[in-house]
């Protein structure tokens, strides 16, 4: 650490808390937070949605952007209801990933109820997919989320989340 870095840190330490938070907010890089729902079924397949606005790799895991003051668990519940009329119970955050503009949080979820699906402006189809047999290219970061979920989850007949036991 150079003497200049030490002086800057010392001066920063003298600032009132509100001013140091202001500097941190304006000087640090900002990210949009995306939340991805990783939803398995009892056969070890995962829910994929066909996104109307994506030309390249339109089949992706469900999810969306976190709203202000919304927790990631709330985001997956809202997005699943809005996109495919399904109710999920978020179980745990299983991974995070960052790209150029987004910081993605992957949440393992259990499907609670599936209502009737109606195609909409964002999503026009959905399907359960075995990642090993997918007929489409799964984006790299989403494949990593699936691999983590498969390692964490036991597929011995029934999907066990530990919360009901």
115-153: per-residue pLDDT in tens? Answer: 999 999 999 999 999 988 888 888 888 999 999 998 887
Q: What are phi and psi of 142, to 5 degrees?
A: -75, -35
Beta bridge partners of 123: 51
List helix spans (H) across 15-156.
17-27, 72-84, 140-152
Instruction: Give 38-64 pLDDT, tens digit per residue.
Output: 999 988 899 999 999 988 889 999 999
Q: What pLDDT band is residue 163 in, cutting at 50, 70 and 90?
A: very low
Task: For residue 128, give the nearest of 65, 39, 28, 45 by alpha carbon.
Answer: 45
Asked if 17 and 96 touch (Cβ cutoff 8 Å), the reply is no
pTM for this entry? 0.79
Homologous superfamily (CATH) for 30-153: Nucleoside Triphosphate Pyrophosphohydrolase (3.90.79.10)
CA angle at 65 for the pair 135 and 26, rounded to the nearest 5°: 135
């Amino acid at each position: 650490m150079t003497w200049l870095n030490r002086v800057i840190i010392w001066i920063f330490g003298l600032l009132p808390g509100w001013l140091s938070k202001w500097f941190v907010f304006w000087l640090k890089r900002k990210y949009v937070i995306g939340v991805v729902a990783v939803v398995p079924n009892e056969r070890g397949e995962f829910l994929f949605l066909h996104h109307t606005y994506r030309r390249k790799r339109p089949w992706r895991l469900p999810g969306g952007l976190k709203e202000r003051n919304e927790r990631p668990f709330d985001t997956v519940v809202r997005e699943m209801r809005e996109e495919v009329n399904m109710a999920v119970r978020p179980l745990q955050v299983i991974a995070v990933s960052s790209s150029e503009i987004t910081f993605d949080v992957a949440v393992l979820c259990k499907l609670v109820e599936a209502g009737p699906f109606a195609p909409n402006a964002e999503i026009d189809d959905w399907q359960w997919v075995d990642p090993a047999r997918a007929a489409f290219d799964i984006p790299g970061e989403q494949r990593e989320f699936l691999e983590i979920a498969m390692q964490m989850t036991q597929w011995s007949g029934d999907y066990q989340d530990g919360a009901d036991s």
